[in-house]
Chains A and B, each alone.
Chain A
Amino acid sequence: MSSSTVAMPPTHYLNNGLTLKSWLFTKDHKRIALLYLVAVTFFFMVGAAFAVAIRLELATPAGDLLSDENYNRVFTMHGVMMVFFFLIPAVPAILGNFLIPLQIGAKDLAFPKLNLLSFYIYFVGSLFTMYSIVSGGLDTGWTFYTPFSTVASTSAVVPAALGIFINGFSGILTGLNFIVTIHKMRAPGMTWFRLPLFVWAHYATSLIQVLGTPVLAITIVLVAAERIFGFGLFNPAVGGDPVLFQHLFWFYSHPAVYIMILPAMGIISELVAASARKQVFGYTFVAFASIGIAVIGFLVWGHHMFVSGESVYAALVFSVLSFIVAVPSAVKVFNWIATMYRGSVSWETPMFYVAGFIGLFAIGGLTGLFLASMGLDVHLTDTYFIVAHFHYVMVGGTIMGYLGGIHFWWPKITGRMYNDLLGRVSAVVIFVGFNLTFFPQFVVGYLGMPRRYHAYPEEFQVLNVLSSAGASVLAVGYLMPLFYLAYSLKYGEIAGDNPFGAVGLEWNTTSPPPTENFKTTPVVTWEAYEYPTPVEGHVV
């Protein structure tokens, strides 16, 4: 670890202008990343507050804490906030924004103004959605199924939908920016197959953003047209088909789950390599697995619709493709483990998050196979089994990866080190709390407890109480980093340029980096994750 003798660089992006204006109108990708960090953390808190309300309500079988009406609003906003305003932007807009130019040796993203615009679009989108909370809430579920959302719901569907529509453009523009940057802005010698896997993962993610999000946008336009003008594309009363809505929605929203997981997988690749001080095993396979997941991920959306009235033959095609998309994920998991083999595995905080990620993602992913199994999904769909599945991949997977990444790059971002012991403790608390919260939900789901229920039969209570208890442990785990990371901002040790002894261009500049990232344009002459010759005395 770094010694306290190193000093902060005299000038870096953080002290290059201290006025509020220099932050709010910055075009520096690193500062924009921090703007996102603040906003995204805020929306996580909002989403988490709703989660607290859900778990409190479900601690007892009767619907006693909230009215059914309010409960519906709460879980809807929980889903909307967590998916659209927290998890989808979390890794790309914060870490991707910060790191991609650094990792490929560029001075900035290709379109810095567009990057700032993306942030403000996100901000405006969130305002609309927040407005819908105060003006009557939203009670459609995050999936907006028609005709409920278009004809029956009396809640503020249009403002919320508009918020998500606007927010979508933020994602599109960020993705576009990344693609162009990765194609056109690489430093000399930074060939495609020398790119860090984090960059590959973001390339794949950006493809999904760019090709999927517009379909969500047009879907929202159609829903809004139906609500505002009374058009009837999804309304069976005039011959519209509500199932068409589901196709359009999931054409985006299934790939969107890979928008959420791929960047986290990219983080894990980086962290495994740095923790083991070793080249990622099967680099090319891991890189192409990302692209494979992104492409095949577009062919499976109908697995959300097995009981929706889609044709059984279409269901069959979607099912087999869903199974196939699991294979590249398996490849990644195995390669990460192989990377640890004969490594020099650090026991610092990031590695703890990596271990948590691998375990929880394995469970989450494998339970995805239960759902891709049509005969079984008939029983499982719309039960708590689904809720458990997606929290395992999204919370156990993505958030673990995200937090791991934040801990790993924190010294690069801020120039200071947090308390590593607290970091490891928080990882363990989150891991334990997480399993306690969501494992019982698999059981209660197979028992048949439907999701989006505000009251439930009594025999499910014990498992639900366990889940609520777990959520409070989880809350502690999530609040811990908030405090010690904030504390480190002022009191943390000075980290030095490369506290983890990792390779990668981002570690070849100061911490925090200067405004244009590098003093001179770097020229890359080494392979990805190439560690210098082995240090003698290392036993394997």
Chain B
Amino acid sequence: MADHSQHHIVPKSTYYLIFTALMLGTGLTWWIATIDLGAMNNVIMLSIAVTKATLVILFFMHVKYSPKLTGTVIIGAVFWLLIMLVMTMNDYFTRDWLHFG
């Protein structure tokens, strides 16, 4: 069960790079929030958030250098969250379809 997580040492420069990206992302989100792009505001802000989260997971949390199993756990959890969101939303979005029937 050789595994890299404990041997691979991420260079500090990578950490600084990621840190800079996260800070920029935060600034960008704030700026986007103040301008009016219609529905795109939310889409962009959430995309930035997802990107930031991915960076943290991959580098700060070393998932890029970890066994596949770790990635599977994360993807599994997010997928299960999506199950909950999608199937519940399916109810909320179609509640008044009955009126057309």
Contact = CB atoms under 8 A, between A and B. Distances in A.
A183 interface: yes
A310 B91 contact: yes
A313 interface: yes
B13 interface: no
Nearest to A215: B84
A313 B83 contact: no
A314 B83 contact: no
A298 B69 CA distance: 22
Interface string A289-306: 000000000110110000
A37 B78 CA distance: 35
A299 B95 CA distance: 19
B77 interface: yes
A183 B98 contact: no
B17 interface: no
Interface string B61-100: 0000000010000001100100110011011111111100
Contacts of B84: 215, 251
A216 to B, nearest CB: 12
A311 B91 contact: yes
Contacts of A312: 94, 97-98
A310 B80 CA distance: 21
Nearest to A305: B91
A49 interface: no
B84 to A, nearest CB: 5
A519 interface: no
Given A211-B77, A211-B80, A298-B80, A311 B87 contact: no
B77 A313 contact: no
A311 B69 contact: no
Contacts of B97: 311-313
A313 B87 contact: no
Contacts of A299: 83, 87
A251 B95 CA distance: 19
B1 interface: yes
A45 to B, nearest CB: 36
A481 to B, nearest CB: 38
Contacts of B96: 311
Interface residues of B, number: 18
Contacts of A215: 84
B98 A314 contact: no
B73 to A, nearest CB: 9
B1 A184 contact: yes
A317 interface: yes
A312 B95 CA distance: 7
A211 B84 CA distance: 11
Contacts of A309: 95
A452 interface: no
Interface in A309-327: 309-314, 317-318
A435 to B, nearest CB: 36
Nearest to A183: B69
A313 B95 CA distance: 8
Contacts of A243: 91
A227 interface: no
Contact of A311 (B1, B76, B95): B95
A317 B90 contact: yes
Contacts of B76: 211
Contact of A314 (B1, B77, B80, B87): B87
B5 to A, nearest CB: 13
A55 B97 CA distance: 43
A314 B94 contact: yes
Interface string B16-58: 0000000000000000000000000000000000000000000
A313 B80 contact: no
A54 B48 CA distance: 56
A12 interface: no
A247 interface: yes
Contact of B87 (A183, A244, A302): A302
Nearest to B91: A314
A314 B86 CA distance: 11
Interface of B: 1, 69, 76-77, 80, 83-84, 87-88, 90-98
Give 5 closest A-B pairs by Cβ, nearest first: A314-B91, A311-B94, A313-B94, A311-B95, A310-B91
10 contacts: A183-B69, A247-B88, A298-B83, A302-B91, A311-B90, A311-B94, A311-B96, A312-B98, A313-B97, A317-B87
